[in-house]
Structure 1
Amino acid sequence: MSFSIPNDFEGRRVVVTAGTKGAGRATVRRFLAAGARVLTTARSRPDDLGGAEFVAADLTTPDGAATVRDAAFATLGGVDVLVHVLGGSGAPGGGFAALTEELWQSEFALNLWPAVRLDRALLPHMVERGSGAVVHVASIQRTLPLYESTTAYAAAKAALTVYSKALSKEVGPKGVRVNVVSPGWIYTEAVDAFLQRIAAVSGGSVETARQGVLEALGGIPIGRPADPAEVAELIAFLASDRAASIHGAEYVIDGGTIPTV
């Protein structure tokens, strides 16, 4: 999928977490195409970065956030845009009883704490300069949780959304905009792994698992998951000067999945 891309990030310094796969990779490509200098991070280096800078880091740890902070200043000289895409669920099916203490901890360690730590590391630079944009990627599951397998993930994304709202109130008057993008189902590599986990627990097929997720979501009115490039386009818009008055907001991109206003 392609769009007509304005060159509105020329020279901007952008940090994108989890930028080597799925929506994160599409976001990196979108900013690069618009002229940005991009630093992305993941646990291991991919074969093709497409022109982005890279630092290996485990953002589920405090040291990982410090590594990205140091790389951002050493490589880019600072940050104008921070996009936090990192997230996901490793929990099995089986409902609340299958969620051990360790699983609850790991879901929050992946879906909430990295954003909090990286904001704490990089936002002071934006505040000092009096400008910047932050986009946190949450999920529609904060309002539409799938109790069979993603209760802890949904709770962590709900916490991320509330945290983002509070952060926007604090840093907005200081020139830094904070917004949230909440996707529904995105067709990525992680989708297959997610469906395979459900199938393994239920003893059914991957296709049965896919249908089960669609039914749990209540269907997708446009008939398909989102393409990663579509999510990246929304992220780029919110980070751009075209969205200069959009702040403290959550934008849902789910093909109409959420059935209420």
Structure 2
Amino acid sequence: MPPTEEVLKKLCNPAVLRRFLKIRRLPILWLVLRGLDLLSRRPEMAREIQVLLPDVTETLQFTNKHTVLMALNILNKMVTHLRKRETSPFAPDLSKKLLPLFNHVSNEVRECSILLFKDLIEAVVWWQKADVKKNVHRGLLPLLFRMSDETPSIAQASGEALIACARFLKWKKLKQQAKRKKKVDIKDCLLKQGRRRVDDYLYQSVLYLRDSQASLRCEAVEFIGLALQHFNNQSEEKVNVICTALEPLQNDAHPSVRSAATGIIQRQQRQQAEPARSRPAALFCWPC
């Protein structure tokens, strides 16, 4: 039986709800989130509880899948109901908190977080885009890799979110390639941004070498190979770190992953064996 109007009005008390949100006990937190879920379904009440957006965002750090999903659903409804200027102040922190959820073990959490990220960046007003831009850049490579997710709906959501990111960044070439779903061309597009940005992408790629899905491990290995070819004067220290991360994949269960990882390691070993004077000097080191 749905709650009455009177019950909802009594429940809509941001100060009280905030106090309960700060109690980090799962049963209590679940009840509070359940109440917020009911309130966030109504545009007028979503506006009344918008001050709780930061508090709900904090619950995304919980490990309980159901809690995170409930929080994502609440945030999604609030972003939908609120005006752009009401949502934008919360966008920098929320977009940052959503990024780790792209790799959550739960398919539902991954999909919901990606879709919310897309809706969020589309809701940011122009004068606050600068505060969100860094997080959008950080989301590009994970979204590219998630286009190969074994769950079709996640792959689809990732492609749509990548298009939204390209539109946010006013990156016409990336938007075109994302619409065509040409992953090789998207990678090439990302690699043309410059060394500092590509260095960040390399660091992100290494994290995906341990992903449970072979399709994502394969994407990560391929991107690393392309990046090393694109900028072939990496520091020896960085190359060693990358090759060390790739070594376990030489015994990967997936043939494509094994082959690609082995090929990169062998190529780097040959390059390192060349006389030092035949190789250009490395320009920068691996980020801390």
TM-score w.r.t. length of structure 2: 0.30
Higher strand share: 1
Higher helix share: 2
Larger Rg: 2
Higher RCO, 1 or 2 (CA under 8 Å, sep at least 6)?
A: 1
